[in-house]
Structure 1
C-alpha cells in the first residue's frame, strides 16, 4: 500500500528537502507551496498524512491543521517551523498536531517521524475497526468436551488447520462454530489477525463497505479512507459467520475476490492484493439454499474445500456437565455472585435436557440460575422451572432415551471387559474409543475393570 503524503511549505527549497528525505520510502509525495491550494487538495483528495509549515502567507499551518481536523478528527498532521516559539508549539499540539519538528532538521529525523506517524495512523484505523467486530462474549479457544462426536470434529480440525484449505463449518446455532474457527486460525501458523464478521448482523447496504473498505469521497459521509475487514485479515483468517445471509450481489464480489485474491475498495480504482484464509459457518442447510436460488453454487464450491459438521449438544450429552463446570465460574464472576460449583442434582437435570439452543442456551440457563442461587453451590431448585419439569417427566421420551442409553453403555462395556479379561486397552480398541473416554465411561457407570480379571 502506497501512503499519500501532502507537504505544504512556502519555501520551494524546503519542499525539495522533504521530498528527497522520503524518496526511498515509496510514498506518493505531493508538494504544495500555497496553503489555500493545499486546503482545496485536502478537500478533493484522499491523503494519509499532512506535513505543513506553521508560518505561511494567507493561511497558516495552524489554520490548515484545524481545517483538516474539521474534515476528519483522526487525520494525522505533522507541523514544521523555523521559529522555536513555545506558544506556537503548544497551540499546535492543542489543535491536534501529531508532532512538531524544528527547522533545520536532519533528513533521517524527518523520515523517521513520517514513518512513525503513518504507523500510528494504520494502528488507529485497525483498532477502530477491530473494536466493532472482535468483541465476543466468550472467546476462549479451548473446545470443551470428550464425547466421541466432538473429538472427531477436533481431530479433523487439527489435521486441516495447517493447510491453506478454506473451511466451511456447519452446525446449529450455539454449537460453538466460532470456537472451531479460532482453533483453526491459531493452529494454522498464519501470523495475521483473526477477523470475524457476523454476516446477518450488518445491514445489507453496509456489507460491501465493511468487507472491502472505502476511499475518501466514496459516499457523502466518507471524509477519509478506511480499510475493510478483508484488508485487516491480510496474512490471517477471515471468518464469515452465517455466510448464507450474504446478499447475492456481495456473493458475486466475494467470489471474485477469493478467486483473484484481489479487490477494490468502494469508490476506488486501485487493485489491492490480500492473502487470507477464508473460514465460513452457517446454521442453514446450505445445499437447500442453493436449490432455492439464495446462495451461489460456485461460491459454495469455493468455500467448501473442507467441511466440518458440529454436533448439537443433544448428541453429546456427556459433555453437558463439563461445559457447565467450565462456564459456571466465568458467569458467576460476570454476575458478581459467589457460586463456585454445581451439586449432583443440578448436573443430572442439565444432562437430561435436550438443549435446542445448544451451548448458548446452557450459558443462558446458568446465568438465570446463578442470579437466584443462595450460597456457593448451584442446586436443582435454582434451575429454571421448565428445565426441572422436563427432567421430572413432562418429556418421558427424553427421560427414557437417556435411561436406556445409560443401561446400554453399562451392559456393553461390562460385556467387553468380560470378553477381554478386564484388559482396558483392548476394550477401548474394540469399542473404538480413546482410552481417556473409556476411563470416563467406567467412572460414570462405576465399573471396576479388575473385577473382570
Structure 2
C-alpha cells in the first residue's frame, strides 16, 4: 500500500490485516516501487495524487515489473471517465476517497479470490472442476481468463461497453456476466437491433402514450424505461439502420427519453452494453455507422475470442454440453469416444461455441449408446474436418493419413460405422413389427430421432423384414 498520508496508511492497513494476508506500506512512491520489485505482491493499493510520482505512473511501472499484479487506485477526485481511463491502463479498480472500509475489504477479497481462481484454472486437471467456472462461464484458456479479469475490473464503473467478437462466441453471456458483476438493482433488458422494424423503433425503445398512433390504446414503457437502474444490452448494434442511430445516440448520451406522442422527457439511469460481430471502424468508413455513436458506446471495448483461439477450452465445453443434454433428454451419456473427440478437435468451428453446443445436442439426441461416437455427430463436421490420421481405434498417426482418406470413401472406417447404425435401426424395426414408437424405445432414442435415421439410411419408404 502506497500513500503519502501516513494516517491513511495506518488506518487502511489495519482494516485489511487478517490471517493469510501480509500488508506492506510505503509513504513514498519510489520506496513503494522498490517494495514491489522485492516482494512481487499479489495486490498494490496506491493513492493517485502524490509528490514526484502519481498513482498512474506507479501503475505503469508496477505493470512492467509484473503484469500479473493487480493495482487499485484511490483518489479524492473520482469521476467515471477517469476511473475507466485508469482501468484501460491496467488498474484493477479505482476507488473514491475517503474509502469505505467495507467496500475496500470486499474489493480486495474479490481480487485476491480471482487471482487464486486464475491460478487454479491454469493448473486444473479435472474437466469438471469449479476452478474453470466464472459467473457460469466455463474456460481454462488464458484468453478467456483475461476477458474475465477485465469484466471484473470495469463492472463497478462502466457506463457503456462494446463487446466485439464473431457470431456464436458468447457475447451475450459476457454481457450477462458483466450485468451481474456490476451489482445494479435494475433489470437486464435485451434489444436485438437487427430484428427491430425501423418504423417501430421509437415505440419499442422509448415507449409511447395512449393515442400516439392507431392502435396505441394505452401507455407503454419502452426498453430504456424497463432497464432503468439496470442494463440495456444492444445485441448486433452493427445492424442498426443509420436513421435510428442518431435517436439512440441522444438517449445514451443524455440518459433521457421521450415517449412517442409525449412532449415531456423522462430521465433514466441505464448502463449500456453493445455487441457486434462487425468491424465498426470499417462500417464508419463505409458510412454505415455513426462515428459519434461508436465512441459513445466504446468507452471500454472487450474482445470475445473465437473458439479457434481458445481450443484448450473445447474438452471442458464438450463435457459441459454432454452433461446438460444428457439430463435434458433423460439419457445416461458418459462422454465422447476418442475418435469422435479427435474429430471435434480438428474441426474449424466457424460457428464457434454456439455451433459446438448444437453439435453436441444433436449427438446426444442421436446416440444409441452411453458414449458419443463419430456417426452421432452432424454430417457437416465430417465434411468440414481434416480426417487425416483418424482410424477406427481412435488413434492419430501421421503415417496413416492416406489410409484415412481411403477409409472415408470405402465401406471401412466411418462408412462401416454408418452401416452398423443402419443395421441396428433395421433390427429394431423388425423386432418391433414396424412400430416406430417401440423401435425408438428399444434404441433409447426419440421417435423423431428414429425417423431422421430412417431417412438418412433410405429406410423411410423401404419395407422392413419382420421377425
Query: What TM-score does the superposition give when structure 1 sets the normalisation length?
Result: 0.54
* Cα 1:277–1:335 shift into 2, 3 Å: same
Q: Which whole-Å deviations, capped at 9, do the CAs of 1:275-324 have from their partners, x for residues lacking one?
A: 00000000001111111111100000000000001111011111111111
**Who is 1:196 aligned against?**
190
Q: Which whole-Å deviations, capped at 9, do the CAs of 1:151-204 have from their partners, x for residues lacking one?
A: 111111111111133110000000000111111111112111111121112222
* Cα 1:395–1:276 shift into 2, 3 Å: farther
| 1:259-298 correspondence runs (5 A) | 259-298=253-292
Residue 367 of structure 1: SS of its match in structure 2?
Answer: helix
**Who is 2:207 aligned against?**
213
The answer to whether residue 348 in structure 2 is matched with residue 360 in structure 1 is no
**Who is 2:172 aligned against?**
178
Stretches of structure 2 that go unaligned for 5 or more consecutive residues are 1-133, 391-395, 399-467
- Aligned-pair CA distance for 1:370: 1.4
* Cα 1:249–1:368 shift into 2, 3 Å: same
Distance in 2 between residues matched to 1:235 and 1:266, nearest whole Å:
22
- Aligned-pair CA distance for 1:341: 2.3
- Aligned-pair CA distance for 1:389: 5.0
| 1:230-309 correspondence runs (5 A) | 230-309=224-303
**Who is 1:441 aligned against?**
none
Q: Is the 8 A contact 1:342 1:378 kept in 2?
A: yes
- Aligned-pair CA distance for 1:383: 1.6
Residue 192 of structure 1: SS of its match in structure 2?
Answer: coil
Distance in 2 between residues matched to 1:390 and 1:225, nearest whole Å:
52
The answer to whether residue 344 in structure 2 is matched with residue 350 in structure 1 is yes
For the aligned residue pairs, the C-alpha RMSD in angstroms reads 2.3
Stretches of structure 1 that go unaligned for 5 or more consecutive residues are 1-139, 397-401, 405-453
Distance in 1 between residues matched to 2:388 and 2:263, nearest whole Å:
63
* Cα 1:216–1:328 shift into 2, 3 Å: same
- Aligned-pair CA distance for 1:375: 2.3
Q: Who wins on radius of gyration, i.e. which is larger?
A: 1
Residue 191 of structure 2: SS of its match in structure 1?
Answer: strand
Distance in 2 between residues matched to 1:403 and 1:151, nearest whole Å:
33
- Aligned-pair CA distance for 1:381: 2.9
Query: What TM-score does the superposition give when structure 2 sets the normalisation length?
Result: 0.53
Distance in 2 between residues matched to 1:260 and 1:394, nearest whole Å:
58
**Who is 2:313 aligned against?**
319
Q: Which whole-Å deviations, capped at 9, do the CAs of 1:242-296 have from their partners, x for residues lacking one?
A: 0011122221111111121111011111210000000000000111111111110
* Cα 1:321–1:272 shift into 2, 3 Å: same
> How many matched pairs?
260
- Aligned-pair CA distance for 1:403: 9.8
* Cα 1:141–1:208 shift into 2, 3 Å: farther
